[in-house]
Structure 1
Amino acid sequence: MPLNSSSPGSACRARPHRPCRQCVIAWHNLKLKIFRSMKTNYKTILIGLPVLILTFFLGWWLSPGGTPSDHDEAGEAAPEKAASTTWTCSMHPQVRQPDPGDCPICAMDLIPLTDDDDGADDGELPRLRLSDRAIALMHIQTVPVQQQAAHASIRLTGRVAIDETRLYTVAAWFGGRVDHLFADFSGVQIRRQEHLLEIYSPQLFGAQEEFLQALQASRERGGSAARSLAEGAREKLGLLGLSEAQISVIEASGEPTTHLTYYSPVDGIVMERQVSTGQYVETGTPLYTVVDLTRVWLELEAYESDLDRLRFGQTVEIKVLSYPGEVFEGRIAYIDRQIDARKRTARVRVDLPNENLRLKPGMLATGTVKVRMGAGGILADMDLAGKWISPMHPQIVKSGPGTCDVCGMDLVPVEELGYFAGAGGGTEDPLVIPATAPLFTGPRSIAYVRLPDTERPTFEAREVTLGPRLGDVYPVLAGLEAGEQVVVHGQFKIDSELQIRGRPSMMAPERGDADPQEADSAADPRDAIDRADFAAGVDTSFGDELRPLMEAYLALTEGLADDSLSAAQAGLKSFHEVLLEIGQHRLSGDAHVAWMERYESLHEITHAMAEPATIENLRSHLQALTLEVERIYVNFGAGQLPALKRAFCPMVDGDQIGTWLQRGEVVNNPYWGAAMLRCGEVFDVIGTQEEDGL
């Protein structure tokens, strides 16, 4: 058998170690042909024997113990090359072996992997080197870190409220009896100096007599003493609530009046009438409460995570449900110094003009604050650039120093309120990265950066400090520099590659010299969550906040079991409201990340269940809702919530299995209602407390 350049032997001669698989197969095939030929025709033995001998010498020559010089020379160089070669699987990169062979997971042939393919860590920052083909397959995209203006819109919700500075109480200046009410019901609109009521008072009658006598004595006797006595009597009437016009009428008539008419001190609405006809009152008794609604407040609720971007004097665009399509404007007049412990929100008050009285206290409204963030977290408001503002009344803004038209206080520069008044651009703008770039794991934020001037594409993990999200970007406070290429698509694949190689990554920052053979099991991100850290982020009061959520879920399922659409919708509405009250930013650490996932998922599910408003739509989303509720129950309510029964029905949507949570042992199937109320089985208990349900 001639050995040409394409024969297995020639291909194997260049190899520095044992014969290749192709040569071994060819050797066995040749022996098989010879023995078959010998069995078929005895005469061929004479021919086959020399061939067999030749084949024997060929195999001996190809074996590792052969003597040709080229094999010896190659063998001498083999140890050095083998020492720098690691064999891995193209489908399971966590598999690494010093020698070639088959993958222990999928049985595929291992391929060589040099140290350069893995990527080395310089210092404490994990790096990963990839080929251009790998980058294309992983769809990795990068953008430069830029210094630019960052804009965002903060959406707040609240209600229209009465301006407390325009609330007036009309009180009795003296004791007497209410004889007549002119403003005789709450809600009546009155003008300044319009009559409100008439009071009879002996005390007032005596004061008038005293004034008339002093006035007569002053006219008859003259002298400074008499005039002083008359002026004192006049002032006494003024202190009893009589106006100069009323005193002049008494002076002109010379007769005391037995009744006094009270007049409104302001334009407004009678908010409350507090007396009735015939009622006796004493000095200081409240008679009416009057409110001026030409200016109103809008009381909004802001999450504590948004407070850093809100400032006194910011313009707020307001939309009211009663007037679709219309936009009202006001300025932030007050930000509460205290956080509501239950809602985790702070009250933000906006001062609104209301000349036409269209805005009524109690109306629901939403406010939008458009924010431009500068470097260092300073807010930029170009409309206020170089202006002066009242520290008490934000609607008073002037182009220069002066005093407030309302309270007389000195105006202050807007820079003192946390704004910068530059023209924008330059160093005043922050470094920003797209919102898709960072990866979050509790308090840590990771971004992957493509390093410049490397022979092969190299990506480095950076721990970055970010400001609050502004629209589609995050401001970078530390960790990145302008111009660096940050990964915006494919970073999860990079992080996963680091995990399966046993390298430090987002979910396993402490992992470094892990055994590659154990990397497969360690690569599961759930295994990287520290349960102690997770539990530390959940305070004991959180279980109490979850109780109403579970009650609402049970009300929903029980309504479905009763075929009551109204009861089920009420349970869904209550579930959504409780979820909003708990809010997104309730926990910390790993627990915060897990709760955010559950919160967003539940938010989407409840919206999908709300429309269309049919019992079939509610039942179609019940399985997804139940799975999320179970996750919340196990991860956040363990040991704090009472036990519930887990039940299933094998006949949901034909042949699908549907599960739900319920209070008792008797099956109440929410998927079928009365049609098959007892279809299913209770198969498990969720929770640890020894109580019979919530």
Structure 2
Amino acid sequence: MNTKKFSWALCLVVLGAGLGWAASRWSHTPSAQPQASVSADRKVLYWYDPMAPAQRFDKPGKSPYMDMQLQPKYADEADAAGIGVSVASGTVQALGVRTAKVERREIAARVDALGTVQLNEREVSIVQARSGGFVEKVYARAPGDVIAVGAPLVELLLPEWVAAQREYLSVRSLGDATLTEATRQRLLLLGMPEAVVTAVERSGQVQARHTIMAPQGGLIAELMVRQGMTVSAGMSLARINGLSSMWFEVAVPEAQSGVIAVGQTVELRLAAFGGQVFKARVAAVLPEASGETRTLKLRLELPNPGLRLKAGMSALASLHGPKRPELLVPSEAVIRTGRRAIAYVVDAPGRFRPVEVQLGRELDDALVVLGGLEAGQEVVASAQFLIDSEASLRGVVPKPAEPAASNAQEHQGHAVAYTGRGRITEMTAGELTLSHDAIPALQWPAMTMGFKLGQPGLSAGLKPGQAIQFSFTKRGDDYVIVAIQPGAVSGGRP
């Protein structure tokens, strides 16, 4: 009896285990047609894989990229245009989202850069021997001395002059005016100053020795003569650099060089003179940019009364451009990825739309906007990285920025045309090479480059060296001139 009861119990246990296993298998068997949970009262725009949100599907199913089901995108989760992000008001407050206005203000472009005082290389005099001879005396001079104009430098014994002067005195005694004048001209051609010839005529004696004077006051940069030397005609004896004016060379970042023009006034503050401000003038914008530092070198010229300025002094240069309206956005409102810049525009409470923007220079804590935004728009100034992450998951792509600039105008359909001023340096049948002013719309500095002609007749009547005002567009990889106005005065490069 006990054995029979035990057998029945064992059979019941095995049967129960089998039924349980079968039930579990049935409950976990997937349906032949996988369906996502979709609310009946919500409209589905499309289906997407959260790991690849840019790819859209028109029906549910399994993702071709990942081992997961596609997710629905509902109509109430996107804005009317389908390009924005909706965030609940409670989430906006929890994230601490702040917004800021895009403003248009009158801004004067300002560039601050360090530089050094240098000698003016335009005020250089080279002292040379006009005839062969011997150095009998060198006055107490040395490189680095500052001398006045007319200061004696060296005394030479010139045998060639002695023979020529004796010949002149002999011819002069004959009384032949024509021959005397010809012999006198020979003395001048030998390099004798007019004062030496006059002294010979007045005294009737040869002047064997000649003292060379400084032709201008300034710094003795080089002194190449020593007592006892033999010199030949044309040999350099000294190099004198004037000090009445000085140069100031400063390196300006390439991105800020568009507001600089020749003749512009610059303020200099030298460390040696405290808060005193010196006025300088932009004498030249050198034609080559540094490939290592991406800077352009400016050469300023400033007067040096009292010889207070010394070569090698450092100073801070401040350049101020004219005021013009600029569109400004806070720097913190822009996400820069390296390839593009994005700002999130507030279309409505809790609705944000990404916009690609074109940026200009940076002014303190603000950025100049060249395209993509308009004055009065409200942009997200904080927590935009979280909103950007949500936009990426939802496949929201920012709209490309359209260029907007003060000197750009619509020309020939929808192509953006830019205007500039310049001077013709070279001409061919289908191309002009122009030395043009800065083009702020393209952030170009003043430079020389070639432009294609939209029509061959545009260059009719023009000639190299002529100043023009021109309009151009970009076609493919070329910049093409579409209009020319001759006779415009260029304020840029000569």
In the other structure, the counterpart of 2:395 is 503
Aligned to 1:245: 195
TM-fit CA distance, 1:152: 4.4
Match of 2:68 in 1: none
Question: Which residue number in structure 2 is paired with residue 450 of structure 1?
Answer: 346
**Which residue of structure 1 aligns with residue 113 of structure 2?**
156
Separation in 2 of the partners of 1:354 and 1:153?
A: 25
Mapped pair 1:473 → 2:366: yes
Asked whether the equivalents of residues 271 and 315 of structure 2 are also in contact (C-alpha less than 8 Å), the reply is: yes
CA distance in structure 2 between the partners assigned to 1:329 and 1:294 by the alignment: 15
* Equivalent runs, 1:528-677 vs 2, <5 Å: none
Distance, in Å, in 1 between the alignment partners of 2:99 and 2:213 is 73
* C-alpha spacing 1:472/1:333, structure 2 compared with 1 (3 Å): farther
TM-superposed CA distance for 1:289, in Å, is 0.7
Write out aligned runs for 1:101-500 (5 A).
115=74, 118-120=77-79, 122=81, 126-217=83-174, 220=175, 226-371=176-321, 380=322, 428-451=324-347, 454=348, 456-499=349-392
How many residue pairs end up in the alignment? 338
Q: 1:411 aligns to what? A: none
Shift, 1:479, TM fit:
1.3
TM-score scaled by length of structure 1: 0.45
Q: Alpha-carbon deviation of 1:199?
A: 0.5
After TM superposition, give the deviation of residue 260 of structure 1 in Å.
0.8
- Between the two structures, name the one with larger relative contact order (CA 8 Å, sep ≥ 6): 2
Shift of residue 116, structure 1, vs aligned partner: 6.3
- Alpha-carbon separation, structure 2, partners of 1:114 and 1:290: 81
Q: Are the counterparts in 2 of residues 142 and 489 from structure 1 also a CA contact under 8 Å?
A: yes
Q: Are the structure 2 counterparts of residues 84 and 259 from structure 1 closer, same or farther at C-alpha, using a change threshold of 3 Å? A: closer
Alignment check: 8 A CA contact 1:162 1:361 kept: yes
3-state DSSP class of the match of 1:429?
A: strand
1:80 aligns with 2:12: no
What percentage of residue pairs aligned between the two structures are identical? 31
Secondary structure at the counterpart of residue 188 of structure 2: helix
Deviation for aligned residue 1:262: 0.9
Question: Hey, what does 1:27 align to over in structure 2?
Answer: none
Relative to 1, partners in 2 of residues 1:276 and 1:120: Cα closer, same or farther, differing over 3 Å?
A: same
Contact 1:183 1:197 in 2 (8 A): no
SS of 1:356's equivalent in the other structure is helix
Per-residue CA shift, 1:610-629, capped at 9, x if unaligned? xxxxxxxxxxxxxxxxxxxx
Question: Structure 1 residues 171 and 84 mapped into 2: Cα distance closer, same or farther (>3 Å)?
Answer: closer
Task: Give the drift of 1:297.
Answer: 0.9
Task: Note the alpha carbon deviations across 1:570-596, whole angstroms, 9 max, x for none.
Answer: xxxxxxxxxxxxxxxxxxxxxxxxxxx
**Secondary structure of the corresponding residue to residue 332 of structure 2:** coil
Q: Which residue of 2 aligns with 1:608?
A: none
Contact 1:268 1:292 in 2 (8 A): yes
CA distance in structure 2 between the partners assigned to 1:236 and 1:323 by the alignment: 54
One-letter amino acid of the structure 1 residue matched with residue 259 of structure 2? R
Counterparts of 1:84 and 1:340 in 2: how far apart (Å)? 57
Q: CA deviation at 1:186?
A: 1.7
- Take 1:310 and 1:202, find their aligned partners in 2: how far apart are those partners? 57
Change (3 A) 1:196 1:82: closer
Contact 2:79 / 2:351 at 8 angstroms: preserved in 1? no
Q: Residue by residue, what CA displacement relative to the aligned partner does 1:3-57 show, whole Å, maximum 9, x if unpaired?
A: xxxxxxxxxxxxxxxxxxxxxxxxxxxxxxxxxxxxxxxxxxxxxxxxxxxxxxx
Q: Distance in 2 between matches of 1:337 and 1:121?
A: 52
Give a deviation string over 1:180-235, Cα, whole Å, max 9, x none. 11243222222222221110011111222233233333xx3xxxxx3333333333
Give the C-alpha shift of residue 304 in structure 1: 2.4
Alignment check: 8 A CA contact 1:151 1:471 kept = no
Shift, 1:121, TM fit:
7.1
Q: CA deviation at 1:117?
A: 6.1
Query: 1:285 deviation in Å?
Result: 0.6
**Pair 1:239–1:262, CA change in 2 (3 A):** farther
> How far 1:82 moved relative to its partner?
7.0
User: Which of the two has greater helix per residue?
Assistant: 1
Please list every run of at least 4 consecutive aligned residues from structure 1 whose deviation after the TM superposition is greater than 6 angstroms: 82-85
CA-based RMSD: 3.0
Q: In the alignment, is the contact (CA less than 8 A) between 1:150 and 1:432 conserved in 2?
A: no
Supply the AA of the counterpart residue of 2:258.
Answer: D
Q: Distance in 1 between matches of 2:96 and 2:337?
A: 23
Matches of 2:148 and 2:193 in 1, distance apart? 17
**1:165 aligns to what SS in structure 2?**
coil
Q: Verify the 8 A CA contact 2:109 2:259 in the aligned structure 1.
A: no
Q: Distance in 1 between matches of 2:342 and 2:117?
A: 42
Checking the alignment, whether the CA contact within 8 Å between 1:150 and 1:475 is kept in structure 2 is: no
Inter-CA distance 328–488: structure 2 relative to 1 (3 Å threshold): same
Segments of 5+ residues of structure 1 without an aligned counterpart are 1-77, 86-112, 221-225, 372-379, 381-423, 510-694
- Matched residues in 1 for 2:158 and 2:103: separation? 78
Distance 2:185 2:366 in 1: 68
**Residues 295, 351 of structure 1: 8 Å contact kept:** yes
More strand by share: 2
CA separation of 1:339 and 1:84: change in aligned 2, threshold 3 A: closer
User: 1: CA distance between counterparts of 2:189 and 2:302?
Assistant: 35
How far has the Cα of 1:128 moved from its partner? 1.4
Query: Contact conserved, 2:120 with 2:245, CA < 8 A, in 1?
Result: yes
Partners of 1:236 and 1:433 in 2: CA distance: 77
CA distance in 2, matches of 1:249, 1:83: 113
Q: Decide whether the 8 Å contact of 2:42 with 2:74 is kept in 1.
A: no
CA distance in 1, matches of 2:131, 2:43: 107
User: What residue identity is the alignment partner of 2:279?
Assistant: E
**Distance change >3 Å, CA 177–CA 481, structure 1 → 2:** same
Q: Given that residues 127 and 459 in structure 1 are in contact (C-alpha distance below 8 angstroms), is that contact kept between their aligned partners in structure 2?
A: yes
Q: 1:300 to 1:83 in 2, by over 3 A?
A: closer
Q: 1:314 to 1:434 in 2, by over 3 A?
A: farther
- Deviation track 1:461-502 (CA, whole Å, cap 9, x = no partner) reads 111112222344322222122222233333223213323x44
Gaps spanning 5+ residues in structure 2: where?
A: 1-37, 46-71, 401-494
How far does residue 133 in structure 1 lie from its aligned partner after superposition?
3.4
SS state of the match for residue 210, structure 1?
helix
Find the aligned partners of 2:100 and 2:345 in 1 and give their Cα distance.
10
Task: Give yes or no for contact 1:150–1:470 (8 Å, CA) kept in 2.
Answer: no
| Deviation at residue 278 of structure 1 after TM alignment | 0.8
| Cα distance change on mapping 1:363 and 1:240 into 2, 3 Å | farther
Which residue identity does 2:41 align to in structure 1? K
Q: d(CA) in 2 for partners of 1:305 and 1:82?
A: 51
